[in-house]
Amino acid sequence: MKSTDIARIAGVSRSTVSRVINNYPNVPEETRERILEIIKQYNYVPDASARILAGIKNTTIGLFIIDIRPESNSKGRRIALSHYFSYLTGAIIEDAAKMGYRVLVTMINNSEMYKDVKQAFYNKTISGGIFIGQKSDDPIVKEIITAGYKVAIIDQSIESDKDIYSKCIVINSDNFSGAYNAIQYLINLKHSRIACITGELEKASALERLDGYKKALLDADIPVINSLIASEEFTENGGYRAVKKLLAREKPTAIFLGNDSMAIGAMKAIKEAGMKVPGDISIVGFDDVEISQYLNPPLTTVKMRLSEMASLAANSLITAIDKELNFSANYKVPVDLMIRESCTESK
């Protein structure tokens, strides 16, 4: 039902219905009550674009968490279980609330759901959007940016299309330096056979961490051995599978994992192989999710400043919306190596 239908039933003009919806005073009380009763009877909700045309500020932003994977690999891989995504989501919602905005959270599990993403922008349900988990150069995200909507992206390489990504807000952790420093730490512990289990290489963060790993080895005159490198899902099961396969063919003294969830899976695989962390294999993760410090042994990992990343995304986007700015930025947030007990000197 549209506002024109409400007007027809009430026997008034569409502009009168609009004045009632927006609580303007210049409507006779009897007419106002009749229109409100009809709205209640038919459960009418004015769409966002109509409210904006009426001059009402849209204080809703979208948060789109993208996790499109092959159907055969989808079992037991709910994104809601991810510490990384759940922390970012909560922090973004809190920061937006402080600025008077609500967050409409949508999880995108298949390409068909992108229709809802575009619709949210095009019909002005939201005044801007934050994307997390997209593959590098995601065509739908690029289409939305090109159309002139206000967008912030977390974890996105800008090198492939600087013209487009210069029109939005991009927030990344310093993935390269984080990986480089982690490998340098292992090298200082006399490790030379260091494996790298990276996440999906369609993600900018995975590529940057792999590059940091390789550069640290080369700077120490340690050859990069391709058989010590593997790519898997950014999940506990992904880390488990990759390390099971790795240990069947190689004997690394240390393993650098793409994130902490993968590191937890790696620890399980190492234990099943009859080995110990760190006595037989040292382990380093990435993210520093809360559970990392409570593992046995506590996990050495690269700490991402997720709270700062969330604040940059929400605050920058909402500032651009409120001030009607064509605001763009490329933020690189520093990381910290958290040294705990999952690493020791190589024998």
Architecture of domain 60-173+306-334: 3-Layer(aba) Sandwich (3.40)
Fold of 175-304: Rossmann fold (3.40.50)
CA distance 227 to 320: 47
Residue pointed to by tokens 């046995």? 296
Pairing of strands 129-132, 60-66: parallel
CA distance 154 to 139: 16
Residue 122: predicted pLDDT: 84
Please answer whether residues 255 and 195 qualify as being in contact, where contact means their C-beta atoms are separated by less than 8 angstroms: yes
Where are the extended beta strands (E) located within 114-168? 129-132, 151-154
Residue 78: predicted pLDDT: 46
Q: For domain 3-46, give the CATH number.
A: 1.10.260.40
Domains 3-46 and 175-304 share a fold: no
Domain ranges (residues) in the chain: 3-46, 60-173+306-334, 175-304
Residue 255's SS3 state is: strand
> What residue type is 265 in one-letter code?
G
Residue 1: predicted pLDDT: 67
Residue 44: predicted pLDDT: 73
Name the pTM for this structure.
Answer: 0.81
Angle at 284 between CA 176 and CA 66, to 5 degrees: 60
For the stretch 109-118, contacts whose Cβ atoms lie closer than 8 Å and that sit 24 or more positions apart, written own/partner, are 109/67, 109/68, 109/69, 109/74, 109/79, 110/68, 111/68, 114/140, 117/62, 117/64, 117/144, 118/143, 118/144
Stretches where the chain sits below pLDDT 70 are: 1, 22-23, 45-56, 69-82, 160
Sign of the CA dihedral running 124, 127, 128, 133: negative
Residue 113: predicted pLDDT: 83
Residue 110: predicted pLDDT: 79
Nearest residue to 65 (alpha-carbon basis) of 121, 128, 113: 113
